[in-house]
Chain A
Amino acid sequence: MPDATFLDSTELVLNMGPQHPSTHGVLRVILKLDGEKVLGTDCVIGYLHRGVEKIAENRTFAQFNPYVDRMDYVAAVSNGLGYCLAVEKLLNVEAPPRAQAVRVILTELNRIASHLVWLGTHALDIGAITPVFYCFREREEALKIFEKYCGARLTTHAFRIGGLLYETYDGFEQDVRDFCAMFGPKVDEYEELLTNNRIWVSRLKGVGILSAEECKEYGVTGPVLRAAGVKWDLRKAQPYSGYEKYDFEIPTAQNGDTYDRYIVRMQEMRQAVRIIEQAVAAIPEGPIMGKVGKVIKPAVGEAYVSIEAPKGELGYYVVSDGSTQPYRCRVRPPSFVNLQALDRMVRGGLVADVVAIIGTIDIVLGEVDR
C-alpha cells in the first residue's frame, strides 16, 4: 500500500485572502471544503486595525471627529453624523434645523455613493464588468457635491459637533436637484442590466439565505435584515436629525437571499433620492451651529447613539469623565457584526458562492478592523 496522500482525504483547507480582490480589502477567510462544498469557515480579521478607540481617548472630542471618517471610508459622512449625534446627546444640544436638513441631504447622498460602490464591486465579483463603470460614473457626481461643499471627496469631515462648520455654497440646491434628476433614471439603467439578467439571477437566487430569526440572533442589521422581511430602519424606528419629517418607504423583501439584498439596496437608492428631493425643497433658514462652547466638555455620563448607516446600525457608546477628551468611545460597527454571520451563510454552499456572499454583506474592512 502506498502512503496516504492529501488526495485521500475528502476535506481540504483553502486560504482565501487577505490579498484577494473579492474580499473587498484585507479579509482572510479560511475555508474548509469537501470538493466544492463549504463545510465551515474561519475569518481572520484585524489586518487594518489602527486602534481607533484608543486614539479617541487621547484626543479631544472635536479632534477625534476626522478619525471616524476613516472607519467606513465609503460612507464617511454617515460615520461623522453618528459621532456628532452621540457627542451632541452627551452635551444635550441639538443641531439647528438648517444644519439637520443639510446633514440629511449629504448623508443620503453618501448612502447612494456607498451603495454604488457596493453594486459595482459586487457585480464585478460575480462577473458582470459593466455596472462598475456606470456606478463610479454616478458616484463621481455625488462626490463632486461633497468636494464643493467641504473640499474633500472621501473622508469628508463634513459635520461638526453641534451642527455644521460651512454654510452651503452658492448653487448647492441646484447641484443636488440636478443630481436627483439625473440619478433616478440611472437606477433603472442598472436594473435593466442586472435585475432580470439570467446569469445574475441564477448566481444570486437562493444563495446565502439568512432568515429573520437568524439575523436577530446574530445582530445583523441594515439591508441584510430588511431582505429577510423585517421592516426595520432606525431612520423610522428612532428618527434622528429630522428624518421624521420626510416621507419614504422602508424597502423589504422576503427570502433573505443574496438576490433580495440586491433588490433592497436598489430600492434604498430610490428612496434616498426621494428623501433628498424633499429635504432640498425645504432647507430652513437660520443658523447652522447650535449652542456649543469652543471647548467641548460634556458632563460626567455616558450615552449610546446609533444611526442607520448604509451597512446597518452604526452606534457610538461614548463615556465622558467631565474632561475634554472622551473617557471611552466604543464604535459599534455594522460591518463587523454582520460579517460574523458569514459562516452561517456560506455553510453547505459552493466556493463560488462565498464570493457572492461576501459581496452581498457589503463590508468595509476599515470598519471591521477599526
Chain B
Amino acid sequence: MAAIPWVSDLSREIKERFGDRIVETSTYLGQNFIVVKPDAAIPVMEYLKLEADFDYLVDVTAVDWPKRAERFDVVYILYSFARNERVRIKTYVPDGFKPETAVGVHLTANWLEREVFDMFGIEFDGHPDMRRILLPEEWQGYPLRKDYGILQQDDRWVQENLNIESGQ
C-alpha cells in the first residue's frame, strides 16, 4: 500500500493558495500529510493556524536521508482541536540549509526545534535561542545523523569533563 492523493476541501484550498510551493498532498494509512518547498513550511503552518484552526503544534522532528541531495526531512505535526484532525507538514532541506523557525507561529516550537538542532545540526533561522538542549553545549557532532555511529561519542568532551577515558 502506498500513499494516495489526499483530496479534500482543505487540500484544495492550500494548493490554490500556495500553488507550486506545494509539492504533494497525500494520505498514508489514513494520515494526511503535505509536502512543501522549504520556504513554504511556515506560511502554510500560519495559514492552517489562522484559517483552518490547526492551533496545536504537536511535534517538530527530522529524518536523515544521507544519500539524498536534500538530506533532511523536517516534519511538523499539527492538530486542530476544533476539527479533531491531524496533518503533517513535511519539507526536504539540504545539509547546511537554515529553515525558518516556527516560534513565531507556535511558541512550543522553541524547545522542539532546539532538540532538532541538537540531534541533527539543523539550525533554524530566526530562532530566539538556538542552543543545544539535551547534550552539553560544547559537544561536537549530531547523534541522530545516520553517519554518527551508535558507539560514537565526543571523546574529548568525555575526557575533559568526566575524567574518564571513554564512556563505553
Interface residues of A (CB under 8 A from B): 45-46, 49, 51, 53-55, 57-58, 89-90, 92, 216-220, 230, 232, 237-238, 299, 301-304, 306, 313, 315, 317, 319, 327-328, 330, 332, 336-337, 340, 369-370
For this complex, 6 residue pairs linking A to B, each with C-beta atoms less than 8 Å apart, are A53-B119, A218-B108, A303-B28, A304-B77, A330-B61, A332-B59
Q: Decide if B128 is an interface residue (CB 8 Å cutoff).
A: no
The reply to whether A51 and B143 form a contact with Cβ atoms under 8 Å apart is yes
A58 to B152, CA, bound (A): 13
- Report which of B29, B110, B119, B136 forms a contact with A90, defined as CB distance below 8 A: B29
A141 to B5, CA, bound (A): 50
Cβ of A327: which chain B residues have Cβ within 8 Å of it? 63
User: In residues 31-62 of chain B, which contact A (Cβ within 8 Å)?
Assistant: 31, 55-59, 61
Cβ of A330: which chain B residues have Cβ within 8 Å of it? 59, 61
Cβ of A49: which chain B residues have Cβ within 8 Å of it? 134-135
Cβ of A337: which chain B residues have Cβ within 8 Å of it? 108, 111-112
- Separation in Å of the B108 CB from the closest CB of chain A? 3
Question: Assuming the A-B contacts A230-B81, A332-B58, A332-B77, are A304 and B31 also in contact, with contact meaning beta carbons closer than 8 angstroms in the complex?
Answer: yes
The reply to whether B150 and A55 form a contact with Cβ atoms under 8 Å apart is yes
Cβ of A55: which chain B residues have Cβ within 8 Å of it? 150
The reply to whether B58 and A299 form a contact with Cβ atoms under 8 Å apart is no
A200 to B104, CA, bound (A): 38
A207 to B115, CA, bound (A): 29
Q: Which label, helix, strand, loop or mixed, suits the secondary structure of the A interface?
A: mixed
The reply to whether B3 and A317 form a contact with Cβ atoms under 8 Å apart is no
B135 nearest in chain A by CB position: A46
Residue among A220, A330, A340 with the most chain B CB within 10 A?
A: A330
A334 to B39, CA, bound (A): 29
Question: Assuming the A-B contacts A46-B134, A46-B136, A304-B86, are A219 and B29 also in contact, with contact meaning beta carbons closer than 8 angstroms in the complex?
Answer: no
Q: Decide if B130 is an interface residue (CB 8 Å cutoff).
A: no
The reply to whether B63 and A219 form a contact with Cβ atoms under 8 Å apart is no
The reply to whether B106 and A304 form a contact with Cβ atoms under 8 Å apart is no
Q: Decide if B133 is an interface residue (CB 8 Å cutoff).
A: yes
The reply to whether B134 and A45 form a contact with Cβ atoms under 8 Å apart is yes
The reply to whether B107 and A217 form a contact with Cβ atoms under 8 Å apart is yes
B116 nearest in chain A by CB position: A330
The reply to whether A232 and B81 form a contact with Cβ atoms under 8 Å apart is yes
The reply to whether B1 and A369 form a contact with Cβ atoms under 8 Å apart is no
The reply to whether A54 and B55 form a contact with Cβ atoms under 8 Å apart is no
Question: Assuming the A-B contacts A49-B134, A315-B59, A369-B134, are A217 and B108 also in contact, with contact meaning beta carbons closer than 8 angstroms in the complex?
Answer: yes
The reply to whether B31 and A315 form a contact with Cβ atoms under 8 Å apart is no
Q: Decide if B75 is an interface residue (CB 8 Å cutoff).
A: yes
- Report which of A54, A89, A304, A370 forms a contact with B150, defined as CB distance below 8 A: A54
A218 to B58, CA, bound (A): 9
A230 to B119, CA, bound (A): 33
- Separation in Å of the A48 CB from the closest CB of chain B? 9
The reply to whether A54 and B58 form a contact with Cβ atoms under 8 Å apart is no
A237 nearest in chain B by CB position: B84
The reply to whether B108 and A219 form a contact with Cβ atoms under 8 Å apart is yes
Residue among B56, B57, B75, B86 with the most chain A CB within 10 A?
A: B56
- Report which of A51, A57, A232, A306 forms a contact with B58, defined as CB distance below 8 A: A306
- Report which of B3, B77, B88, B115 forms a contact with A301, defined as CB distance below 8 A: B3
- Separation in Å of the A102 CB from the closest CB of chain B? 25
A303 to B119, CA, bound (A): 21
- Separation in Å of the A120 CB from the closest CB of chain B? 28
Cβ of A301: which chain B residues have Cβ within 8 Å of it? 1-3, 28-29
**Contact pattern, B 14-39, Cβ under 8 Å of A = 1, otherwise 0:** 00000000000000110100000000
Cβ of B55: which chain A residues have Cβ within 8 Å of it? 216
Cβ of B108: which chain A residues have Cβ within 8 Å of it? 217-220, 337, 340
A45 to B108, CA, bound (A): 16
- Separation in Å of the B87 CB from the closest CB of chain A? 10
Cβ of B31: which chain A residues have Cβ within 8 Å of it? 303-304
Question: Assuming the A-B contacts A218-B107, A304-B88, are A92 and B112 also in contact, with contact meaning beta carbons closer than 8 angstroms in the complex?
Answer: no
A230 to B84, CA, bound (A): 13
- Separation in Å of the A90 CB from the closest CB of chain B? 7
- Separation in Å of the B51 CB from the closest CB of chain A? 16
The reply to whether B84 and A46 form a contact with Cβ atoms under 8 Å apart is no
The reply to whether A317 and B136 form a contact with Cβ atoms under 8 Å apart is no
A45 to B135, CA, bound (A): 8
